[in-house]
Amino acid sequence: MSFQKLDALGRKLESLEHALSILGADEATHMAIGGGEKRAEAMSNLAGMYHAHATAPEIADWIEAAKPESEDQTLALAEFRRQYINATCLPTEFVERRTTATMRSEQLWRDLRAKGDWDSFLPALEGVVSLVREEAQLRADALKLAPYDAMMDQYDPGNRTADLDLVFGDLKSFLKGFVPEALDAQERRLAKRPRKTLSGPYPIEKQRELGLAAMRAVGFDFTHGSLAVSHHPFCGGVPSDVRMTTRYRTDEFLSSLMGVLHETGHALYEQGLPKDWSHWPLGKARGMGIHESQSLFVEMQLARSPQFWEFALPLVHLHLGEDAIPGWEIGDLLNEVNFVERGYIRVDADEVTYPLHVILRYELEQDLVNGKLEASQIPEAWDAKMTEYLGISTINDPKDGPMQDVHWPGGAFGYFPSYTLGAMIAAQQWAALEKAQPNVRDDIRKGDFTGVNQWRSDNIWTQASRWSTPDLITKATGQPLNADFFKAHLKQRYLA
């Protein structure tokens, strides 16, 4: 009987989760500017209701008394227990206060980021940082972890700075030497095949149609999802109604297309989760590292390969017109989509420099959570690391510096490490997939992603949260996470 009570609880929580997700997606895409205050109030109350239900004292008794009748129920019970411990770390009053503060902070960010107005944004960010420190300590006390480890554990259970500092330190050292090598190799390639200029303008509606065609080709189910526009691309909603967004530039089309494919990777994972368990914690995605591995798999492993562009070039001509990229061949597109440069914007960065953007944020947010850095000191600290890691300065450019991401305004501290972990996992998954399907490159060349998606469905999507992240990686690829796959991938693509 106790497990049936947990099952009913899961359905109630799933409904509240559904409402919050759709309201959040709408707020970022379609809500009128005057709706912000009441939307924040509504979401705050819903978040409070969710938290009150998820932390009810009787749940502890249900968990202890439950007698699972199958392996699925046994695994589900363990996830209910883990979720309950994490949920009861935070008082309902705190959850409501945090939700209101982060909603208002995000709304301010959308307005002030475009203006680069750091000074006006700072008080809101200081309030968020204060709340994040409070949350980190509450979680640390309950989980018996260091504060930043406790925050990371919400996004990827098991992540610890003691491990990541070593992995990221090694990767940072590798990339500091590799970036100049990749740039030198690129210069030699461009001497033989110079980079071409995109001949915009590219109408937004035509770009949208191209993006929709690409989504459809790689497997997105439009009966359970849609594409809209937002300030910052994201994939939200719920598995039965995935809300994807992108943003457009009319002078070029590749950044939007790559963004669409990245978010489609997230969406395919959500749409592929097991429907029978959707109301159990067991049926949710297994952390953001795995989630990012699915988006980066599509964007990096697939969409920046020569085989993909043999299939996609005709799509560009179909939707943007025969003269959209006159005279361009596959090699010209690869020059563009795999172009390496030291840039300011994380979401626009190439896969060689991208991890350095993530490591910068990982290091800064540790110091913010631990009180070694104040919000007012972010611009200087950010600039120092950008200068050291990428050789460029952001000291007079907060818009393209510390204001560029929505994560900190939204209170999502501990999330950034998942991006680079995802890149490493994606490279390892590709190696395992290619070993299992030796003809996979030919399939991609033909625009046939059936085998790719079947492998990922069998090994990742339908497994949901049955296993820990390390166990899931091992079961899917045959060995524990090994960054050497990512390094080998970069060498093969950028030094060959």
263 catalytic residue (yes or no): yes
Alpha carbons 79 and 85: distance in angstroms, whole number: 10
Alpha carbons 133 and 467: distance in angstroms, whole number: 30
Instruction: Return the exposure string of 7-23: e unless at least 16 CB atoms fall within 10 Å of the residue's CB, then b.
Output: eebbeebbebbbbbbee
Count of CB atoms situated within 10 Å of the CB of 473: 27
Is 51 annotated as ligand-binding? Answer: no
376 token code pair: 């007012």
- Which DSSP symbol is given to 53? H
Is 193 in a helix, a strand, or coil? coil
Report the candidate in 254, 258, 383 with the shortest Cα–Cα distance to residue 320. 254
What pairs with residue 241 in β-bridges?
A: 238
Phi/psi region, residue 344 (left: phi>0; alpha: psi -120 to 50; beta: rest), is alpha
Is residue 355 within 8 A of residue 164, CB to CB? The reply is no
Is 292 annotated as ligand-binding? Answer: yes
Alpha carbons 327 and 270: distance in angstroms, whole number: 38
- How many angstroms separate the Cα of 331 from the Cα of each of 119, 190, 193, 305, 384? 45, 10, 8, 10, 36
Is 209 annotated as ligand-binding? Answer: no
Percent helix, strand, coil in the chain, to 5, is: 70, 5, 30
Catalytic annotation, pick one of 27, 106, 135, 263 = 263
What pairs with residue 237 in β-bridges?
A: 242
Which residues are part of a known binding site? 262, 266, 292
Which residues are part of a known binding site for Zn(2+)? 262, 266, 292
Residues serving a catalytic function are: 263
